[in-house]
């Protein structure tokens, strides 16, 4: 059964006052609400739904200061969810060309595609783990700098520096190899 608006709001206010249990209860109660919100809008793509639920929970946690205690809580949470969904569509659109690229790789042969992956792995193996992770996240997986920074728990500047230095090191290695 879904928690009522009043119940959700009192958990939220508890969390805002520093009550960790109330905060956890709020996030748990929001999970089914968010799942059905995203599920209805992304028919079938259940991985995306769970990713979006998690992203939204993180945003709800980090932006809870923007909730005003005298206003409806669910409307506020839907506002966060809607923004994350639009952000998701925007990113999906930007990655269409990569989808195309995958087809090209497959049509040119499975072996080459695998070889390319192995090449990436071998190349990234030659630089520091931190730089390799930053490059893999931002250049291979397609995360934004902010998302990569958040997932690794470091600053955005840190990620940018790692990517920059890593690419430089890779370029130097490739020049040396050729």
Q: Residues interacting with other proteins, by CB under 8 A?
A: 15-21, 23-24, 27-28, 31, 50, 53-54, 57-59, 61-69, 71-72, 75-76, 78-80, 82-83, 86-87, 146
Nearer to other proteins, 38 or 127 (CB): 38
Least spacing, CB of residue 38 vs other proteins, in Å: 12
Q: Which residue has the tokens 């071998």?
A: 122
Least spacing, CB of residue 62 vs other proteins, in Å: 8
Least spacing, CB of residue 92 vs other proteins, in Å: 16
Least spacing, CB of residue 149 vs other proteins, in Å: 13
Nearer to other proteins, 14 or 126 (CB): 14
Least spacing, CB of residue 6 vs other proteins, in Å: 18
Nearer to other proteins, 28 or 173 (CB): 28
Nearer to other proteins, 90 or 117 (CB): 90
Nearer to other proteins, 63 or 173 (CB): 63
Nearest by Cα to 159 from 140, 170, 145: 145
């Amino acid at each position: 059964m879904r928690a009522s608006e009043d119940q959700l709001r009192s958990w939220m206010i508890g969390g805002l006052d520093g009550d960790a249990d109330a905060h956890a209860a709020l996030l748990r109660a929001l999970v089914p609400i968010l799942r059905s919100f995203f599920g209805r809008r992304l028919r079938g793509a259940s991985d995306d739904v769970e990713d979006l639920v998690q992203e939204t929970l993180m945003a709800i946690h980090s932006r809870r200061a923007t909730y005003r205690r005298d206003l409806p809580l669910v409307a506020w949470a839907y506002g966060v969810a809607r923004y994350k969904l639009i952000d998701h569509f925007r990113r999906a659109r930007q990655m269409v060309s990569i989808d195309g690229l995958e087809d090209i790789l497959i049509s040119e042969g499975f072996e080459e595609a695998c070889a390319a992956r192995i090449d990436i792995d071998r190349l990234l193996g030659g630089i520091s783990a931190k730089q390799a992770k930053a490059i893999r996240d931002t250049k291979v997986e397609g995360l934004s700098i902010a998302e990569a920074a958040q997932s690794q728990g470091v600053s955005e500047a840190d990620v940018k520096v790692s990517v920059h230095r890593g690419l430089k090191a890779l370029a130097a290695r490739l020049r040396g190899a050729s």
